[in-house]
Amino acid sequence: MKTYVDQLNQLTFSEMFGSDFLLTWEKTDDEIAAVFAVADALRELRENNISPKVFDSGLGISIFRDNSTRTRFSFVSACNLLGLEVQDFEEGKSQVAHGETARETANMISFMADIVGIRDDMYIGKGNQYMRDFARFVKEGHQAGVLEQRPTLVNLQCDIDHPTQSMADMLHLIHEFGGIENLKGKKIAMSWAYSPSYGKPLSVPQGVIALMTRFGMDVVLAHPKGYEVMSEVEEVAMKNATLSGGSFTKTNSMAEAFKDADIVYPKSWAPFAAMEKRTDLYGAGDGDGIKALEKELLAQNKLHSDWQCTEEMMKSTKNGQALYMHCLPADITGVSCAQGEVEASVFDRYRDQLYKEAGFKPYIIAAMIMLAKVKNPQAFLEKCAAAGATRWQT
């Protein structure tokens, strides 16, 4: 624990207290490093059966406007670890359909809430904005005396970024390569890969290129022509690479991206232009247009079915042993689909590492919560370690 506390003592992150976590590039390098240190400290406490409860009572509210397994359970796990109960807000079972406004919903569900986690990743220009509106509404509610406290907002994936995923990915790399200092100069291929399904969000590749470029890594974004991501996020990646001494390049060749890569991250996503079009169609209630767009995009995907992470592709990576990463679930050829993002033999070889990668997410979310709610996390962590209060009686 002393190691983590010493790390935190060397960082400046006081602005995180009382703040939300919406985009990684809105946080400083020190603040990002503080999340990693606290996440590792919390994991250390739990591994040693020591309780890290911050809260005696209170609620974490989850709002998932898209399906989820890992992030949903990671949020629940993080809240529970720190002592919060969790209530899932289901819009279909609420008064939203009867005209309840977002402002009213935000205040009504936040009476005793300390944390609100939101996933809203399906519609370009909508998800992150909804989160910012929600944050503004609860701030106004707190200032007006409606809410006793202002709940902290955590982005559980939006149309722009997936901060809890990219930071879990990054902490996985830190552990796999033996320290953040060992990532400088490592090549990571963030590559589009074929999927027989439609409409996967852009926020995972965007989150990866925006975060990994901060650590001096050589980040390559690969995709077929027409599968571009948001240009403003590419600009963030380019700026970060310049500041860190790393690099950010783009290619329309998966083979080029994989060549001599230390890490590969083959993942399907929908074209930015198509996601914009889908947002407009949903806004207009054009069901026929949505069906036609889906058919068009599936056909477009099929033109690039050779974009797969195969054993042959993996041979071209650094010593043929690049670390394979994925946010899960992957489209596995012959397992979850007839033809998909990755060959079954590749996926099976990295299965344990993939599950470990996912296992960092609850601690990342818990760290984001703690840094927003605890003014002096160093003192709190030392107190937990010294008290040694057992989490469960063995």
* pLDDT above 90: residue 375: yes
* pLDDT above 90: residue 90: no
Task: Please give the DSSP secondary-structure letter assigned to residue 97.
Answer: G
User: CA nearest 297: which of 199, 169, 194?
Assistant: 199
- Per-residue pLDDT at 278: 86
What is the value of pTM for the model shown?
0.96
Report which listed range, 21-25, 94-98, 269-273, is most confident: 21-25
In angstroms, the CA 384 to CA 382 distance is 5
Residues 201-220: pLDDT tens digits? Answer: 999 999 999 999 999 999 99
- CATH architecture of the domain 2-161+361-387 equals 3-Layer(aba) Sandwich (3.40)
In angstroms, the CA 58 to CA 114 distance is 6
Q: Are 123 and 282 in contact (CB under 8 A)?
A: yes
Residues forming beta bridges with residue 62, ordered by sequence position: 88, 117
Name the band, by pLDDT with cuts 50, 70 and 90, for residue 94.
Answer: confident
Between 67 and 191, the higher pLDDT residue:
191
Residues 9-20: pLDDT tens digits? Answer: 999 999 999 999
Q: How is residue 375 written in tokens?
A: 């003014």
Three-state secondary-structure class, residue 119: strand
- Determine how many CB atoms are found less than 10 A away from the CB of residue 192: 27
When the pLDDT of each residue in the chain is averaged and rounded to a whole number, the result is 96
Q: What angle do CA 355, 358, 359 make, to 5 degrees?
A: 85
User: CA nearest 158: which of 116, 125, 190?
Assistant: 125
- Determine how many CB atoms are found less than 10 A away from the CB of residue 283: 11
In angstroms, the CA 130 to CA 359 distance is 28
Residues 246-272: pLDDT tens digits? Answer: 999 999 999 999 999 999 999 999 999
Residues 355-373: pLDDT tens digits? Answer: 999 999 999 999 999 999 9
Fold of 164-358: Rossmann fold (3.40.50)
Indicate if 164-358 has the same CATH topology as 2-161+361-387: yes
Domain boundaries of the chain, sorted by first residue: 2-161+361-387, 164-358
Q: Tokens 């790399």 appear where?
A: 173
